[in-house]
A and B are shown apart, each in its own frame.
Chain A
């Protein structure tokens, strides 16, 4: 993070001592504590966290257990340990639909990656404008943006369908990806606005004095410093798009184009036989990518200012 000017640089606008200076003027010192007590507390904390974790894990464990039960036993024996193991659910589920399940995973991956990329670029750009630039009607535009997420999808989707249909976009991934490239996900714009506004303004003031334009400030200061926000955006976009059902159902009509949530729904039908075992198995399979993304993505969540070296 050598690009970011250090906070200790003298500020031209004010003569107040910065927080860093205040902090730096104190010697390093820690109050002594009872070691044994600290150890006990630590153990207790872990016990509590693990107990709580088990409650949180239960649904997943139950789904996992169910995915190994024959369909007819899932309802008759709802316990966690299957009395009869059926690994066939995975092979059956993988091959149950017209294409192997991997096909739907791939379709979902395309939609999700497009959406993540789109949201990262477009939302951060819009957020920079709303957070740092002064322009006419800023508050009004911001309000308009927020309004767009206050209408339920169910009344929006029909006009959207008509719009995309007139563009011949139905049954392509475009209606799912292009809106993200155009920053229509107000949630993330707002999220990044809040994070950008949390970044000390002296940083870009200093950069401006060094002759940086907005593009450079955006690329070299704001983006690197808001890694947690970008990671949050990426992870949430991934998870939410991966799980989103309604718009994918409406905009994708050919089975070749179906994504994971639609494929999962075709295992179960209220009016005919349902394949619950394969459904659970494929639900587990479709959770793996999201879980992995979360597991590996979350380390970027914790790389905030605290760790990027503005000390």
Chain B
């Protein structure tokens, strides 16, 4: 078990401090910094300013103070959007990550035709949000769709998976798990960075597959798991395309797929209340930033860096 102990010990090792990297940092960060000031900061600040105005897109904004923010808390659809989004995030992010990691493990090595499988499994993620996909979902998940035909074969009567208010959100979560391609690829790349000798040594030590997974793969993959977790979380809070496609942009049936960003978009571009939409966006930012901060703090206890 020497290897495993070695990994475990390195996890606790404190990073060494070094001085005098400031100039090099300025060099490496120069493009990023220019981008931050020129491209990122202005829209960020502008949207914060607009969140205190009655901006309609079509007219100059007028300052209304905190009105947009207080209005949010008396808007029932805002709470519906929060509920939908939180349900979606809490269920689909862990599911998708688990599916992605499991498939990445299966597709990592030791099988003939891996390149083929990887490509095929990534395909659904390639299709993106084109109009064609909207038709497809209806054809697959409709009341007379493929899923129900298969269920009917087993004597089960299906429902309208995307058109019934009680099932639409669940269907979207399944759809999301199904497009696990991006995190899967990132996991794969991460797996490939784990030096093979760790496994060889552990095998020689007599560690079984599960023990190798628990003690080598997981700890060495934690930076990548952490990355996927943080980014999928940020992304899931901003889920838009699939709900937009499935509901024709309404968040329907009856607001059951009214994702936060969808509602915000509807307010900003549909009702010309960009001020309110900006306030909603900044509220979202606070929530997501809070969750990400918690994530980072918690990461000290489980993410292992070799530095």
The answer to whether A and B touch directly, with their CB atoms under 8 angstroms apart, is yes
Q: Does B277 contact A (CB under 8 A)?
A: yes
* Contact of A218 with B19 in the complex, beta carbons under 8 Å: no
**Minimum C-beta distance from B248 to chain A (A):** 8
Query: Is the CB–CB distance between A49 and B117 below 8 Å?
Result: yes
Interface pair B40/A56, CB less than 8 Å apart: no
Produce 1/0 per residue, A16-31, CB < 8 A to B: 1001101110110110
In this complex, the member of A78, A143, A160, A163 whose beta carbon has the largest number of chain B beta carbons within 10 angstroms is A78
Quick check: A62 and B123 within 8 Å, CB to CB? no
Number of interchain pairs (Cβ within 8 Å): 310
Shortest Cβ distance from residue B108 to the other chain A in the assembled complex, whole angstroms: 8
CB contact between A198 and one of B26, B123, B223 (< 8 Å): that residue? B223
Contact A152-B281, Cβ < 8 Å, known A49-B106, A59-B136: yes
Q: Does A229 contact B (CB under 8 A)?
A: yes
- With a CB–CB cut-off of 8 A, which chain A residues contact B6? 16, 19, 22
Contact B124 A56 (CB under 8 A): yes
Q: Is the CB of A152 within 8 A of B238?
A: yes
Q: Are B39 and A178 in contact (CB under 8 A)?
A: yes
A248: interface (CB < 8 Å): no
Query: A155 and B268: CB pair below 8 A?
Result: yes
Question: Could you mark each residue 6-40 of chain B with 1 if its beta carbon is under 8 Å from any beta carbon of chain A, else 0?
Answer: 11000000001111011011111111101110111
Q: Is the CB of A59 within 8 A of B124?
A: yes
Choice from B2, B28, B197 contacting A214 with Cβ under 8 Å: B28
Whether B193 contacts A199 by the Cβ 8 Å rule is yes
* Binding site secondary structure of chain B: helix
| Cβ contact within 8 Å between A198 and B305 | yes
CA–CA, A290 to B124, complex, Å? 12
Q: At the interface, yes or no: B79 with Cβ under 8 Å from chain A?
A: no
Of A81-89, A99-107, A108-116, A232-240, which stretch is located at the interface? Answer: A232-240
* Interface bracket on B: 35 or more
Verify A147–B130 contact, CB threshold 8 A: no
Q: Give, as a whole number of angstroms, the nearest-CB distance from B289 to chain A.
A: 6
Q: What is the CB-to-nearest-CB distance from A273 to chain B, in angstroms, rounded to a whole number?
A: 14
Chain B residues closer than 8 Å to A189, beta-carbon distance: 32
Q: Which residue of B lies closest to A157 (CB)?
A: B43
Chain A residues 264 to 294 lying within 8 A of chain B, measured CB to CB, are 264-265, 267-268, 276, 279-280, 283, 287, 290-291, 294
- Of the A-B pairs whose beta carbons lie under 8 Å apart in the complex, a sample of 14, sorted by A's number, is A19-B6, A53-B120, A62-B139, A126-B28, A143-B289, A146-B292, A150-B238, A150-B289, A156-B44, A187-B231, A214-B21, A239-B128, A243-B129, A294-B126
**B contact residues vs A (CB 8 Å cutoff):** 2-3, 6-7, 16-19, 21-22, 24-32, 34-36, 38-40, 42-44, 46-47, 50, 57, 106, 111-113, 115, 117-133, 135-136, 139-140, 146, 178, 182, 185-186, 188-198, 200-201, 203-205, 220, 223-224, 226-227, 230-231, 234, 237-238, 240, 261, 264-265, 268-269, 274, 277-278, 281-282, 284-285, 288-289, 292-293, 305-307
